[in-house]
Every structure is written in structure tokens, then in C-alpha cells.
Amino acid sequence: MLRYIRRLESRDLSLCHSMIPLGSCTMKLNATAEMFPVTWPEFSRFIRLRLTISSKVIANCASNSRVGWLRLPVSRRFHYSRTRGSQGEYAGLLAIREYHASRGETERNICLIPTSAHGTNPASAVMAGFRVVAVRCLEDGDIDLADLRAKAEQHRNELAALMVTYPSTHGVFETTIREICEVVHEHGGQVYMDGANMNAQVGLCRPGEIGADVCHLNLHKTFCIPHGGGGPGVGPIGVAKHLARFLPGLPSLDLQRSGSRAVSAAPYGSASILTISWMYIRMMGGAGLTKATKVAVLSANYIAKRLDSFFPVLFKGKHGLVAHECILDLRPCKAAGIEVEDVAKRLMDYGFHAPTVSWPVPGTVMIEPTESEPKDELDRFCEAMIAIRKRSTKSAPGGQIARTIR
């Protein structure tokens, strides 16, 4: 049985073998040392909904995870009961809804969402009782500020919130992000910043100073909790002072607060795994966290520059640079009968997991190398992509190239 299981394991591809460049998913190569505390009985025997010494240790981990070197949102309160990022979105939007209701503005039910926002945003907004109005983006990937102004003005009496991802899912830093937030505030709305791309912010900027009123952090991305497979998660949210009392309640802990009812039965989310992020933060230190952000951005730009002449980078910032991920346009390969899925499958032959395919733009791949990968691994990936592109440009009759690629 052991040998059988080991054979199955050897067929898998993990971050132990190569880069997994999933755009917008931040697949880091986590240190084993970060995982050790999860096995300690002080955490692994934590009993849900019961205030024990263990829960106080968990709360201390949570508190230490939000201060110090991170330079995270300028917020007065963090909430940890969310068990995943999408639930954090939902909880933050409920706080915004309750805030408007407390001011007698129950008619505010419009949530503006740019087409460059993270994929879960529209669903969370609808679940929270808002009506979604899409905001266009320009050809360079930035939010169309004129369209935002027009829709904010059109719905000024009903505007509740804007959900914005920064850097955007198009892989660029919005240079007008402060102005975007100001427009929403001028028209009575609140700004919800999706923290899915926080890996490009930590140590460099503060969402609260940019203008965000709510920000959730995907611990399974930026702060190293393992991602994928439907495992346990935590989706903490930070809110500005005026929203703190409207956060959903914590079951069995602070039901006396006047916020919305609880949206999770777990006071600290999947509590024990907070120790992973705590270990990561403590071992990295302030300088290490900032360097990680810089290297992640540098790695993405290195790949973008190397591959741009083979697969055009779809969106670039004002200075021709991307953020921590880039979108490569594979649609020119269609001339040779090759689809984006063919390229994704061909990458397996080079020992790579495929990047995110056809999202947020059909016929493209979104690549995020993170700070984990050394230059030789980035080069190996680039050389694989270049080899695939060169093969696709060779002439062959009747789709022979496509069949070869497949």
C-alpha cells in the first residue's frame, strides 16, 4: 500500500517540482517551518466556540498578524471570523449596508464593480443585497474614469459601494486609484478593496491611505496559508473606524455588539492555521516582507519583457510595466490552428503547471511567478513558452502543427 501511494504521489506536480504560475492565485513555495505549529496540541486541539487558553493564543497570533511591519490598511478594527476570502467580501459588504441603514439611507443599493475586479466580487455583492453596475475599462486595462464618474453621478442617491481590486486583475497598478476612491466618496459611497492582489502591496503602500474603507486579506495567497483543494481558509477584513461597529458579530464572543448577525460559526475562522501566517511574518521580518513584494513585481516584469515579442502583453501600466502578474495574448496562435488550451497542455511536457487560462480575457494566459522562484526557474519557463511559440509559427499543412502541439 505504501509503495502504491508513493507511486501515485510521484505522478503529481507540485511547487516542490516547479513553478505553478497561476495568475491571481499567488502560489508560493511555503517553508515547512511555517507549518509546524499547526501540529502542536495547543493549536490542533483548539475547541471551536469555546474560550480557552488556546483561543487566547490564537487571538494573540491574529493580533500580531495585523500590525508591525505589514503597513496594512489604516483601519481601527480587524475581523478574523471569516473562513475564506469570498466570505470576507460578504461580511465587509454587510458592514457597508448596515452603515448606510444607520444613516437612514436604505435606498443605497448600487455597487459599482469595474470589469477588472476579482471574479468573486459580483457574486458577493448580489448576496449582500446590492445591485451590480459594471464600470468599463480602457484598452490599457485601467478603469475608465469618465465612465465611473458618469455612473456614480447617475446613481448618486443609490450608490452604496465600489468594489475595486488593486492592483487590478488586468495585472496593472491603477494610477488613478486615489481619484477613483474620491469619486465614490463624493457621491456617498464606500470603497471595498479586494485584497486578492495584496502580494503586490505589502510593505509598499496602505489601502487605507489610498482611500479604501474595507479591505480583506487572502491569507491563503499573500500570507502563505496553503491554497487550493477546498482546504481550511481565513479571510480577515480590516475596516475604517466608522464601519467597525457594523461588522458581523462573533458568535459566543461579542453578541452584544450592534452589528449584523454572524456570518460564520467560527470566532477566529479556521483558527489554528493562523499560525502559518504568523510564522511567515515573524520569520520574514519587515525588510523581508517588503523585499518579497518587490521581487514578486520584478519577476512578473522580467517574464513580461522576455515574452512580449512572442506573446504580446495585453495590459501595461503608464510606464509599460505590469504589477505582480501579467496577461499574455495567445490569440495570434489561432492562425496556426492552436488554441490557448493547446499551449497549456504542451507546458506539461516541459514540467510546468499551466498558468490561469482565458481569464479575465478569453484566449490569454495570466502568469504570476511570485517571489518564490529564482531566475533560472523563470528562464526555464520563458524558454518553454518561446519554444512553443516558435513551433507554432512553422508551416505545416492542414493543422498538423496544432496536432503536434497537442
Strand order, beta sheet including 356-357 = 326-329, 364-367, 356-357
The number of helices, as runs of H, and strands, as runs of E, in the chain is 12, 10
- E-only strand ranges, 213-309: 214-216, 237-239
DSSP single-letter state for residue 262: P
Whether the CB-CB separation of 317 and 175 falls below 8 Å is answered with yes
**pLDDT given for residue 237 in this prediction:** 83
How far is residue 74 from each of residues 126, 137, 239, measured CA to CA in Å?
27, 28, 8
State mean pLDDT over 169-173: 92
Query: What pLDDT is stored for residue 224 in this prediction?
Result: 85
Mean pLDDT computed over 263-275: 73
Residue 321 CA to chain centroid, in angstroms?
Answer: 19
Distance CA 120, CA 330 (A): 25
Q: Which helix (H) or strand (E) holds 381?
A: helix 375-393
Q: Per-residue confidence at 399, pLDDT binned at 50, 70, 90?
A: very low
Instruction: Please determine, for residue 405, whether its predicted confidence score (pLDDT) is greater than 90.
Output: no
Q: Which domains does the chain have, with CATH numbers?
A: 15-27+287-392 (3.90.1150.10), 32-277 (3.40.640.10)
Residue written as grid cell 471570523: 81
Listed residue (117, 122, 157) closest to 137, CA to CA: 117
Better pLDDT: 364 or 281: 364
Give me the residues paired with residue 237 across strands.
79, 216
Q: Which residue matches cell numbers 467597525? A: 244
Q: pLDDT tens digit string along 123-150?
A: 999 999 999 999 999 988 899 999 999 9
CA-angle at 182, arms to 176 and 183, nearest 5°: 90
